[in-house]
C-alpha cells in the first residue's frame, strides 16, 4: 500500500487544512492504486477517473481559498453499487437490471457525501441485490480478498471493504442486511459499522425491508464517526428515517471504556463452533477492554438461532426483488438468488407474520439484555476468509450457515461494528464484533476507538 493510501480521512482533512497535501495528489494516488490492484481483486464495477480528478481539482481550489465545503472535502470515497449515485446506472450486481434512464439522483447518504465535498472514485462490486455474504455475480465476476486473492473478500459489500483495505480511498459506503458490511470488514481487516436502523436514511427502500442498513466502511473508528456526522442527517425520502442526532458522533469518542459493563459471548452459549485462532484473537481483544477498565464477564444473549425467521424475511425480499422479472431476466440471475426467490414466493402472509413475531421477541430479549450490559462482544465471524467463488466454505446450505453472529442484529436493528483484532496463521484478518442497544451507536464507536488507541485493532497491510 502506498503511503497516501494508508492515511485516514481525518488525517487527510488535517493535511489539506495545513497545505501539506492536495486532494488532487491524493485522488491520483487512489486511482493509481485501483489500476494497480483491480485485475487481481475486482473491487470496482465502475471507475470514473476523469470525474474524480475534476472533483478533486475543485476541492483543491476550495482548500486553497481556505473555504472547504464540508467535513470530507477532498476525501476519496467509493459507493457500493446498490446505492444510487448520479452520473451512471446502478446495476446492483445484476445483468437483469435496466441501464436506461437519466440516473440523475443520489441516494441520501451519497447526497450528503457530495454536499460535504467528497471525491467519488466509482462504484464497488456487490452480489446481485446484495443477497449473500460473499461478493460474486454474473455481472461482475468474483471479488477477491486483498490479503490472499484466492480467498473471498466477503460480502455483500465486498468491493467496498477491499477498496478501503487496499488504500483505494479511506471511506466506502456499504449496505448491511444480514452482516454485509461487517462480514467483508472482518475478512478484509477494516472497520465497518452497521448503525441503528434508520440512523442513515435509505432511498429507494430496500426490498429486504427494515433488515437493510447503510453504513460506513473505513480505516478506523474515528473515520467512521466523522462519516456518520455527514450521512446521518434526515432525508424526506426515507419514511422510516430517525430524527436529527443531538451533537456529533465524535463527541466522547475518546472517553474510553472504563466503567462500561461488557458481556463477552464467545460462542452464543455453545451454539457456534468458532475456529481456535479466531477465538483466541477475539478473547485477546476482550482482555484488552478489561485492562482498559471495562467490567467484563462471559454472558450469552437469551436467544436461540433465529435463522429460520431470518430466512423467511430474507427470501421473501428476494422474491419481491425479482417479482416482475420475465423469463429472460430470471434466466440471467445467480442460481442461488433464483432459488431463494422461488422459496420466498411460497411463504404465506401468516408465515411472514410469524417470523415478525420471532423478530419482535428477539428485540425484546436484547432490550432486556442491555438493561444489564452496555455492550455485547462476540467474534464477527467464526472463521477467516475461505475460497473465493463459493457461497459457503463447505459448499452446502446458505451463507447464513457461517454468519451466525451477524444477522441476528439486523433482526433487532441494533448498532454493531466489526473491529480488526489480529490475523490467523495464514495472515488472514480476524474481526471482533461490538453490539449496543438501539440508538447507542456512539457507544459502539467509543469502544472501538479505545481498541484502536490501545493498539489492539492493528493488522498488517494487505499483500497486494
Among residues 22, 109, 156, 157, the one annotated as catalytic is 156
95 is catalytic: no
Distance CA(282)–CA(290), nearest Å, equals: 13
Measured in degrees and rounded to the nearest 5, phi and psi for residue 133 equal -90, 10
In which element (H, E) is residue 434 found? strand 429-436
Residue 83 sits at φ, ψ, to 5 deg, of -95, 140
Peptide bond before 13: cis, by omega within 30 degrees of 0?
Answer: no
Whether 137 sits among the annotated catalytic residues: the reply is: no
394 is catalytic: no
Query: CB-based burial of residue 237 (10 Å sphere; 0-12 exposed, 13-18 middle, 19+ buried)?
Result: middle
3-state secondary structure (DSSP) of residue 270: coil
Nearest CA among 211, 228, 239, 303 for reference residue 265: 303
Exposure string for 17-41, b = 16+ CB within 10 A, e = fewer: eeeebbbbebbbbbbbbbebbbeeb
109, 180, 206, 316: the catalytic one is 180
Compute the distance between CA of residue 118 and CA of residue 77 in angstroms, rounded to an integer: 7
Active-site residue identified among 59, 60, 80, 288? 80
- Phi, psi of 78, rounded to the nearest 5 degrees: -130, 160
Catalytic residues: 80, 156, 180
Amino acid at each position: 500500500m502506498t503511503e497516501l493510501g494508508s492515511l485516514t480521512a481525518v488525517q487527510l482533512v488535517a493535511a489539506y487544512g495545513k497545505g501539506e497535501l492536495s486532494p488532487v495528489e491524493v485522488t491520483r494516488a487512489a486511482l493509481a492504486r485501483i489500476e494497480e490492484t483491480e485485475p487481481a481483486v475486482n473491487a470496482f464495477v465502475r471507475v470514473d477517473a476523469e470525474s474524480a480528478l475534476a472533483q478533486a481539482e475543485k476541492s483543491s481550489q476550495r482548500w486553497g481559498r481556505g473555504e472547504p465545503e464540508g467535513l470530507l472535502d477532498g476525501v476519496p470515497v467509493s459507493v457500493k453499487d446498490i446505492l444510487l449515485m448520479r452520473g451512471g446506472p446502478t446495476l446492483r450486481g445484476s445483468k437483469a437490471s435496466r441501464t436506461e434512464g437519466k440516473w440523475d439522483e443520489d441516494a441520501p447518504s451519497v447526497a450528503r457525501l457530495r454536499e460535504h465535498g467528497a471525491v467519488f472514485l466509482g462504484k464497488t462490486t456487490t452480489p446481485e441485490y446484495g443477497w449473500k455474504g460473499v461478493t460474486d455475480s454474473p455481472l461482475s465476476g468474483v471479488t477477491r480478498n486483498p490479503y490472499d486473492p484466492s480467498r473471498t473478500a466477503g460480502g455483500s459489500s465486498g468491493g467496498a471493504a477491499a477498496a478501503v483495505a487496499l488504500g483505494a480511498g479511506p471511506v466506502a459506503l456499504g449496505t448491511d442486511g444480514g452482516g454485509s458490511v461487517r462480514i467483508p470488514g472482518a475478512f478484509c481487516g477494516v472497520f465497518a459499522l452497521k448503525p441503528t436502523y434508520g440512523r442513515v436514511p435509505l432511498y429507494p427502500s430496500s426490498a429486504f425491508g427494515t433488515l437493510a442498513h447503510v453504513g460506513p466502511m473505513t480505516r478506523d473508528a474515528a473515520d467512521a464517526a466523522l462519516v456518520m456526522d455527514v450521512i446521518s442527517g434526515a432525508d424526506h425520502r426515507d419514511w422510516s428515517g430517525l430524527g436529527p442526532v443531538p451533537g456529533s458522533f465524535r463527541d466522547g469518542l475518546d472517553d474510553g471504556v472504563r466503567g462500561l459493563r461488557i458481556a463477552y459471548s464467545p460462542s452464543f452459549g455453545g451454539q457456534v463452533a468458532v475456529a481456535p485462532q479466531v477465538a483466541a484473537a477475539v478473547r485477546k481483544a476482550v482482555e484488552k477492554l478489561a485492562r482498559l477498565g471495562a467490567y467484563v464477564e462471559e454472558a450469552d444473549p437469551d436467544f436461540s438461532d433465529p435463522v429460520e425467521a431470518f430466512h423467511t424475511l430474507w427470501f421473501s425480499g428476494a422474491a419481491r426483488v425479482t417479482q416482475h422479472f420475465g423469463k429472460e431476466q430470471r434466466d440471467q440471475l445467480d442460481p442461488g438468488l433464483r432459488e431463494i426467490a422461488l422459496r420466498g414466493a411460497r411463504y404465506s402472509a401468516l408465515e411472514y407474520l410469524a417470523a415478525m413475531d420471532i423478530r419482535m421477541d428477539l428485540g425484546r430479549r436484547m432490550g432486556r439484555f442491555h438493561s444489564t450490559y452496555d455492550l455485547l462482544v462476540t467474534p464477527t465471524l467464526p472463521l477467516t476468509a475461505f475460497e473465493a467463488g463459493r457461497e459457503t466454505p463447505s459448499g452446502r446450505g446458505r451463507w447464513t450457515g457461517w454468519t451466525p453472529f451477524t444477522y441476528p442484529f439486523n433482526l433487532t436493528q441494533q448498532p454493531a461494528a466489526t473491529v480488526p483484532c489480529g490475523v490467523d496463521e495464514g495472515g488472514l484478518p480476524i474481526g471482533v464484533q461490538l453490539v449496543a442497544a438501539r440508538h447507542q451507536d456512539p457507544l459502539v464507536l467509543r469502544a472501538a476507538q479505545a481498541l484502536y488507541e490501545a493498539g489492539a485493532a492493528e493488522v498488517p497491510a494487505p499483500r497486494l
